[in-house]
Structure 1
Amino acid sequence: MFQNMYKPVSGFSKKTKAQKLEWLATTHFSNDETAIATLKKYWNSDEKLQKLHDDFIENTISNYYLPLGVAPNFLINGTLFTLPMVIEESSVVAAASNAAKFWLNKGGFTSNVISTQKNGQVHVNFFGKQSDISTFFSEVKPKLIESIASLQKNMQKRGGGLIDIVLLNSTKALNGYYQLHCTFETLDAMGANFINSCLEEIARTFETEASTYTPFKNCNQSPEVVLSILSNFVPECLVRAQVSCKVEDLTTKHIDGAVFAQKFVRAIDIAKVEPRRAVTHNKGIMNGIDAVVLATGNDFRAVEAGVHAYASKDGNYTSLTDAKVENGIFTFSIEIPLALGTVGGLTSLHPLTKLAFTLLQKPNAKQLMQIVAVAGLAQNFAAIRSLVTTGIQKGHMKMHLMNILNQMEATELEKEKAVTFFTEHQVTHSSVESFVENLRN
């Protein structure tokens, strides 16, 4: 059982960074100088840059590093890209790079944006007559749109803004529950702040107008706004990516192309019908997607939530990718919702994010959607390719070897000998430990 070892702290956010570290040292680290020194070790020596990082979130005490890697040779719609990827899992960048290389001389990846609408809702309680709220909404809708005129002025100049507001009757799902479902176009911005600001203003106007609406007064039943927030489920913000080639072009020295295609398609079919497999299958897709999303300063949690909801949109959790063989042509594709931005947020603040966009040839939001979808498809191809041929652990554990060696604080000479030895031997934690111990003895 945990024990109540600490007292609550008040005004913590108002303390200086030094005071926060002092409090942590005395209350959580038993005045361990090593712990505080470790936190300080990850501070940036450039004070201006460190201050920038400090201001990203509240109560910053240090920086938490993740590797930034690159996966080259991605041919997407005829253009060659090098993808920036931020991730801690050892085999992800290698797998993406291998997939890119595999498809490089087979036409590469194609991708297209299907739609870009985002959405948000004003969630409303109303227990009166449906006809009353429907009539009221019809009358007040122009005022709701007018209420956000100043908020969307600049967005509209760029060709975006509110698309429509509709009243949804959701009382069958929850008694007295209605929604003002609002759709938006936010162009190169992810648009969360813009959408939420619009929704809150629409909600205020809706309640204000409702308070003076005669039918509501007469029956003593007036709509009440519960909350207003954008949705990270964006099934109308879709992108598709695919690869295809002749079945015989899949042949390698390890496996015949027709056999590979048959096993590959079957693996996807299994992920289509078995949720336990689909979850792991889609997690692998998100390895590639999240890594590029994080490198470009976008919200990978929002992307994750929306993508997994999309995988369940028909009532069962299923694979995000499809594979087929028709007339001797193998096709592998993905269709996913991606609400991404190339302006706003960290995209213009974090120095490494700026470099990531330069690496990607400064894409707009639609182009970034295509690149990210391709990253997910490539990652999935590499995973399924391993699973239906050599198995996934052989390659994964070879990449994990260095992590085990670093945990053992192996010297450079020990690492060099271990890498040579395990080129031909199976990597397990115990086998690496035994090998290093034998070297040392």
Structure 2
Amino acid sequence: MPTNSRISGLRDHTPQERLALVAEGAGLEASALDALGTESGLSLAQADHIIENVVGLIGVPVGVATNFTIDGTDRLIPMATEEPSVVAAASNAARMARDHGGFTTSYTGDVMIAQIQVLDAVDPHGTRFALLEARDEVLALANEQDPMLVSLGGGAFDISVRVLPTRAGAQVIVHLHVDVRDAMGANAVNTMAEAIAPRIAEIAGTRTLLRILTNKADLRLTRARAVFDAELLGGAQVADDIVAASAFAEADPYRAATHNKGIMNGITAVVLATGNDTRAVEAGCHSHAARTGRYSALSQFEKDADGNLVGTLEVPLAVGLVGGATRAHPTAQASVKLLGVETARELASVIAAVGLAQNLAACRALAAEGIQRGHMTLHARTVAASAGADVDEIGEVAARIVADRKIRVEHAREILAELRAGRGSV
């Protein structure tokens, strides 16, 4: 049964009811998502096998973004984040793109790069040529380290060599290009780099130092595009203002840092929910934003001939479905089931689409009403809880502080005291 991502009124249900509705929308048995509940998620014993010196767990809320159509397929998208408004904003932006076909994506491949640093070469340019001449030998040695990856159609397939001027003198840097298929790829490429380093040192007649992947995964790019309906955005003026805001972020690194943070609100939430490496993805995206030598926006917005807004985003996404926490963490496994993705490419496409949706939502809020109005309204429940409200008091306290336009902890405490005093006097 195909997924239906259009679940109306999901926010009006309890968490338990939402989980059942989401499972139904994804065509899954409700039990398939049990690990998203607090009782069946990651145990302390399981955590002890994932990292060292385990003493406890920290819970992060997992919400589900609705309305997404990506490359013609509906997806219900798990997002792990502590920030209010992120899930709602992504869902709303996806709704605005839905009638225009949703999100379309493209992908450059599952290629990661390992770097081997060669020091003290007497003739760096001659050393570069000697290493390139040994290409086939180096690739064969690398592929001996992972016959399973090679059997799946992946493995090392090329090298490149650079002479890099540094303050410590010229260094020769070897790049090993590896198709890692559906893995994130760090373990595979690091193993290969360490295996070929001694032979590279012999060929170079000197020594190697660092042997490790780069998180600047610019051979693993994902691109997402969507058309957002101008009327749903709020009209032609809002669309024009989003274009102007986008141009600001492209031109100014101070604005670009916050613009890109909005993109990462969506990207990191899906990366975390699926057990992938948030730090690697964030490093890759921010390095891509500075690829011209100047930090700039990762996305662009412009108007099409019909006056609708066209958003585009290009980011490196080193994510996978094989190994690591994705396989070891039960909640990550449940998130992948909910998504219904079967390849790293599909997962990357989902992540890029969510990043673009999140970015559009933030730009719209800034252009139309200011970021605080919507964000702080959704933040009110967190403020109420911080003020000490119980579960059955949070809704009323949140509603009152929103109505008073004083979404602050001290005001929430005043409201809470009034409510409790009133109940005590009955």
Query: What is the 5 A alignment of 1:255-270?
Result: 255=234, 257-270=235-248
Relative to 1, partners in 2 of residues 1:225 and 1:277: Cα closer, same or farther, differing over 3 Å? same
Displacement, 1:75? 1.1
1:194-213 pair list within 5 angstroms: 194-210=188-204
The whole-number CA distance in structure 1 between the counterparts of 2:290 and 2:42 is: 45
1:21-170 matches, within 5 Å, as 49-130=43-124, 132-170=126-164
For 2:373 and 2:346, the matched residues in 1 are separated by 35
* Amino acid of the structure 2 residue aligned with 1:55: H
Q: Which residue number in structure 2 is paired with residue 18 of structure 1?
A: none
> Alpha carbons of 1:274 and 1:61: their partners in 2 closer, same or farther (altered >3 Å)?
same
Q: In the alignment, is residue 353 of structure 1 matched against residue 347 of structure 2?
A: no
Pairing 1:231–2:214 present: yes
Map Cα deviations across residues 171-202 of structure 1 (whole Å, 9 max, x no partner). Answer: 36751311111111111011110000000111
Q: State the one-letter code of the partner of 1:291.
A: A
What amino acid sits opposite 2:282 in the alignment?
E
Structure 2 equivalent of residue 314 of structure 1:
292
Is 1:378–2:357 an aligned residue pair? yes
1:11-56 deviation digits (Å, cap 9, x = unpaired): xxxxxxxxxxxxxxxxxxxxxxxxxxxxxxxxx9889943211111
Q: Check the 8 A contact 2:380/2:402 in 1, yes or no.
A: no
Contact 1:297 1:347 in 2 (8 A): yes
2:158 is equivalent to residue 179 of structure 1? no
- Of 392-401 and 418-427, the range deviating more from structure 2: 418-427
Which one of 332, 339, 344 corresponds to residue 318 of structure 2? 339
Q: Which residue type is aligned with residue 301 of structure 2?
A: A
Determine if the alignment matches structure 1 residue 434 to structure 2 residue 414: yes
Q: Is the Cα contact below 8 Å between 2:124 and 2:170 reproduced in 1?
A: no
CA distance in 2, matches of 1:138, 1:387: 51
Inter-partner Cα distance in structure 2 for 1:379 and 1:55:
34
Q: CA deviation at 1:134?
A: 3.6
Contact (CA 8 Å) 2:125, 2:163: kept in 1 or not?
Answer: no
Q: CA deviation at 1:373?
A: 0.1
Partner of 1:327: 305
How much does 1:102 deviate?
2.4
Query: What amino acid is aligned across from residue 119 of structure 1 in structure 2?
Result: I
Cross-structure match for 1:219 = none
- Percent of paired sites with the same residue: 35
Quote the offset at 1:387 in angstroms: 0.7
Contact 2:197 2:208 in 1 (8 A): yes
For 2:131 and 2:67, the matched residues in 1 are separated by 53
- 1:180-236 Cα offsets, whole Å, 9 max, x none, are 1111111101111000000011102222455xxxxxxxxxxx321011000000112
Q: CA deviation at 1:287?
A: 0.6
Partners of 1:401 and 1:427 within 8 A in 2: no
Deviations 1:366-388 (A, max 9, x none): 11111000010010111111111
Q: Distance in 2 between matches of 1:420 and 1:129?
A: 72
**CA spacing shift, 1:179–1:57, aligned 2, 3 Å:** same
- TM-score of the pair, normalised by structure 2: 0.84
Does structure 2 retain, via aligned residues, the 8 Å contact 1:240–1:335?
yes
Q: What amino acid maps onto 2:58 in structure 1?
A: Y
Cα-Cα RMSD: 2.2
Distance 1:280 1:315 in 2: 18
Partner in structure 2 of residue 28 of structure 1: none
Equivalent pairs, count = 382
Question: Deviation at 1:412?
Answer: 4.6
Secondary structure at 2:243 match in 1: helix
| Residues 122, 203 of structure 1: 8 Å contact kept | yes
CA contact (8 A) 1:398 1:427 kept: no
Q: Which of 273, 278, 288 lines up with 1:300 in the alignment?
A: 278
Larger CA Rg, structure 1 vs 2: 1
- The residue matched to 1:297 in structure 2 has which SS? coil
Give the alignment's TM-score, normalised by structure 1. 0.81
| Preserved CA contact (<8 Å) 2:259 2:297 | yes
Distance 2:392 2:329 in 1: 37
1:440 is displaced (CA, Å) by 4.3
Is the 2:41–2:330 contact (alpha carbons within 8 Å) kept by the matching residues of 1? no
Q: 1:116 to 1:434 in 2, by over 3 A?
A: same
User: Is the counterpart of residue 397 in structure 1 residue 397 in structure 2?
Assistant: no
Q: Deviations over 1:138-172 (max 9, x none)?
A: 45333322322321322121111112112211136
Measure, in 2, the Cα distance between the counterparts of 1:433 and 1:131: 69
CA–CA distance in structure 2, aligned partners of residues 261 and 183 of structure 1: 41
Residue 365 (structure 1) aligned to one of 334, 341, 344: 344
State the shift of 1:265 in Å: 0.2
